[in-house]
Amino acid sequence: MKEKDVYVEFKPHQLVLYVEKDDDSYGPVQTGSFMAKNYLDDYFEKFEKWEKSLREQLKKGEISPVYYYMILQSFGEGDLASRVGVSKRKLKQHFKMEYFEKLKLSQIKKYADAFDIPVASLFQLMMSKHDEKEKISIKQMETQNPYFVISKVEMA
């Protein structure tokens, strides 16, 4: 790839590519990500559609929060099962509310840790009205108690 063809203006996502320079030598250049610059909107659009569809299923109790977060965070079932220390068969059971509701709190905590979220987020989704999205931020602050989190709503 020629150096002149490689540059993409996209500051938030930089990377290094190896290119053919004018003097025929090959070497590294830093540039913006071609994918992020051109296709990020499409990525977010798909992600929002999935989130909405999974949320509807979650609201009806058709899936558990374990399944919701596993799909959104693109976990492989084997990887997630290993992270929380259960068999794949057990993990699949935990996709259903009838099994999820019987889980011990300590087990739920392991799922929360794997998803890097507070335990509370396995029981609630906090949302704001679409037009207020930019104005409000919700910070979930950890406490020394691993099962207890304080959520602070802040206006930008």
Partner 1 sequence: MKEINFEHKMGAHCESGTVTALLNHKGLEISEPMVFGISGNIFFGYMESSNFSFPTFIVRNKPGSIRKNFGKYTGVKFHTKSFKSKEKGEAYLNNLINNDIPTAAQVDFYYMDYLPEWQRVHINVHFVTLIGKNETDYLVSDSYFPKKAKIDINRMTKARFVNGFMAPKGFLFYPEYIPGNIDLNKAIIKGIKKSAYNMIKIPIPFLGIKGMRKFARKVVDWPKITRDIDHLSHEIMKITLLLEDQGTGGAGYRYLFATFLQEASEKLNDGSFKDMSKRMMEIGDNWRNISYFAAKIGKNRDLGPERLKELSNMINDRADEEQIFFTDLYKLVK
Query: Where along the sequence are the contacts to partner 1 (CB under 8 A)?
Result: 1, 6, 12-20, 25-28, 30, 33-36, 38-40, 42-44, 46, 49-50, 71, 73-80, 82-85, 88, 113-114, 116
CB of 110 to partner 1, least distance (A): 9
CB of 156 to partner 1, least distance (A): 18
Helix axes 65-72, 34-59, angle to 10 degrees: 170
Q: Considering beta carbons, is residue 54 or 122 the nearer one to partner 1?
A: 54
Strands 136-142 and 149-155: antiparallel
CB of 34 to partner 1, least distance (A): 7
CA atoms of 84 and 70, how far apart (whole Å): 12
Contact (Cβ atoms closer than 8 angstroms) between residue 28 and residue 16:
yes
CA atoms of 112 and 118, how far apart (whole Å): 6
Give Rg (Cα) of the chain. Answer: 21
Q: Considering beta carbons, is residue 33 or 136 the nearer one to partner 1?
A: 33
CB of 141 to partner 1, least distance (A): 13
Contact (Cβ atoms closer than 8 angstroms) between residue 145 and residue 153:
no
CB of 40 to partner 1, least distance (A): 6
**Residue 118's CB: how many other CB atoms inside 10 A?**
22
